[in-house]
Structure 1
Amino acid sequence: MTPDQALAREAIRYTLELYNRNADTADYERHAEVFHPEAHFSVRGLGDAHGLEEILAMLKPGAESRAAYDDANFQRHNLTSTMIELTGPETADATTYVCVTSELGFDHFGRYDDQFVKTGDRWLIMKRHAAMEWSRPDSRFARWLGEAAPVREFPW
């Protein structure tokens, strides 16, 4: 692995971490720092969005329905394993497993399958497929996303 490849992988990890911090704090306006302006975001059980405006329009009502703005609620997205494959000098694929905890304890587990593109000095998500693979029966996320189901194949 070259130093440039190592730096690219760390920049991709930063984007993944920023996405989750934005979700945990319900600061979706900061997703402009995460998604490419022409990004495609697919959430199993919810649908597809194209472009930053549609992505925000899909995510913000979900935050409200799961009470993300309620001070009594707590959530933290914890990234576990991430496999990053650089597919070109300015493109990469990544699969990341995520565990979400809430004030109830373990809330749900899932997976992000992403395609990244280097944009300026940042690596941004060009395509994301998010899937919830397990949830507790009383999960606030399950109310929004529907029933959890295992991912059987890479979405593209």
Structure 2
Amino acid sequence: MELWELDARESVRRTLSDYTAATDTFDLAALAQCFGPDGVLEFTGGTGPLTGPAAIQAGLATAMAKEPEPGRQSPSYVRHHVASIRFRSVTPQRIEVSSYFAVYTDVGLDHWGRYRDVLTPIDARWLFAHRRIGVDGFAAASLMR
């Protein structure tokens, strides 16, 4: 493995970590900065792909502003655990990564699924060109369904 690839892989891990930290602290501006200028975010239950940091931040703010279902509360905390990070393809122009996540809230394990990501280098950082979030399941008492 060459040095550029080691640097690229660590930058990708940093972006994954920065995204996770931003979601756990509800910092949508920091989350949006994990995406390139034309980066796309797709997620289960979303209204469609969100493109670009501004649209991603606004779209997630709208989704978070919705009132919870009757009988459900908003979570007071969110903790994402990301595992099994697998580099599927690594080139100097594009990296494909897959991983799994589990999300904990006030109810315990709330929901879980997988990330499928494409990252590209922008200004010495690897940022999301595309992130697809697939939720595989929700707990019966999920606060984030």
Quickly name the TM-score band, shorter chain normalised. Answer: 0.7 to 0.9
Q: TM-score, normalised to structure 1's length? A: 0.81
- The answer for the alignment partner of 1:65 in structure 2 is 66
**% of aligned pairs identical?**
27
SS in 2 for 1:140: coil
8 Å Cα contact 2:39-2:128 kept in structure 1? yes
Residue type at the aligned position of 2:130: K
Per the TM alignment, residue 122 of structure 1 is displaced from its structure 2 partner at its CA by 0.4
Matches within 5 A, 1:2-41: 2-41=2-41
8 Å Cα contact 2:5-2:90 kept in structure 1? no
Residue type at the aligned position of 2:103: V
Residue type at the aligned position of 1:35: F
Distance 2:67 2:58 in 1: 15
8 Å Cα contact 1:87-1:93 kept in structure 2? yes
Residues 32 and 134 of structure 1, relative CA distance in 2, 3 Å threshold: closer
Which of 95, 100, 109 aligns to 1:97? It is 100
Residue type at the aligned position of 1:22: A
Residues 126 and 66 of structure 1, relative CA distance in 2, 3 Å threshold: farther
SS in 2 for 1:21: helix
Distance 1:71 1:137 in 2: 15
Distance 2:98 2:144 in 1: 21
CA root-mean-square deviation: 2.0
Q: Note the residue ranges of structure 2 that are not aligned, 5 or more in a row.
A: none
Which has a greater percent of helix?
1
Q: TM-score, normalised to structure 2's length? A: 0.87
- Give deviations 1:51-90, integer Å, cap 9, x for gaps: 11211122112333377xx997111011111111344212
8 Å Cα contact 1:66-1:141 kept in structure 2? no
- The answer for the alignment partner of 2:42 in structure 1 is 42
Distance 1:111 1:130 in 2: 6
- The answer for the alignment partner of 1:119 in structure 2 is 122
Residues 134 and 91 of structure 1, relative CA distance in 2, 3 Å threshold: same
SS in 1 for 2:8: helix
Residues 55 and 72 of structure 1, relative CA distance in 2, 3 Å threshold: closer
Which of 116, 130, 137 aligns to 2:140? It is 137
Residue type at the aligned position of 1:48: P
